[in-house]
Structure 1
Amino acid sequence: MGRLTTHVLDTAHGCPGTNIYLELYRVDDRTNCIAHTRTNSDGRCEKPLLEGDAFVPGVYELLFKVGDYYREKGIAFSEPAFLDEIVLRFGIANSDDHYHVPLLVSPYSYSTYRGS
């Protein structure tokens, strides 16, 4: 059975991105958030964002509120923050696969990849 997972790594501090609020949207219905959660102390979500019958092929977006995370850590940057909300758009082609979409982030850069 396929599923969608994510985690956040704070590359500026060499630690997990904890307590980061994130939302998941299906792009054909952008106005409705289909999942939302916060990362745990390991920078991961407690359960998959999508699985079972809800895990269907399509285009999705993950929105990470990283500006709030860095503000809570006391990182000083000008407002508005250079990276406040990060949106990752990706496709799910096979509902039997595990799609893992990590976010590596700092106050001024980010990257992602399809993990395992």
Structure 2
Amino acid sequence: MSLSTHVLDASIGRPAEGIAVRLESRDGVIDERRTDAEGRVGGWKPGRGVHRLVFETGHYFAGRGMETFYPEATVTFTVADPDAHYHVPLLLSPFAYTTYRGS
């Protein structure tokens, strides 16, 4: 089982580099990383159960000199198949975000 994410900043039409992304379970924080130049983080192996990805969007937009309505975006999801790859993309703008289960 592996987990990755990809963050795209719709306000500039580019990957969102440098966003802190925290992987959590019900027991607390598992790991925290930053998106790379392509807006990606990968290589997590969280195991079965309910998990959260918390994206520190407020710090990202503040660093770009922009206001944002959402200081963080939290995506809660369930890992059901320990042999599958889970990909959780985030499309981001200062006043909206959307996500889905990617491939």
Q: Does 1:56 align with 2:43?
A: no
Match of 1:40 in 2: 36
Letter in 2 for 1:70: F
* Cα-Cα RMSD: 1.0
Match of 2:65 in 1: 74
Q: TM-score, normalised by structure 2?
A: 0.94
Residue 48 of structure 1: CA displacement?
1.3
SS at match of 1:114: coil
Per-residue deviation, residues 5-48 of structure 1 (Å, max 9, x unmatched): 11100011100010000101112x1xx21011000000002x41
Which residues of structure 2 form unaligned runs of 5+?
Answer: none
**Between structures 1 and 2, the one with greater strand share:** 2
**Between structures 1 and 2, the one with greater helix share:** 1
Residue 49 of structure 1: CA displacement?
2.1
Per-residue deviation, residues 45-72 of structure 1 (Å, max 9, x unmatched): 2x4122xxxx421000010001111111
Match of 1:3 in 2: 2
SS at match of 1:82: coil
Q: TM-score, normalised by structure 1?
A: 0.84
Which residues of structure 1 form unaligned runs of 5+?
Answer: none
For the residues of structure 2 that align with 1:82 and 1:56, how far apart are their CA atoms?
Answer: 32
For the residues of structure 1 that align with 2:44 and 2:65, how far apart are their CA atoms?
Answer: 29
Q: How many residues align?
A: 103
Identity %: 42
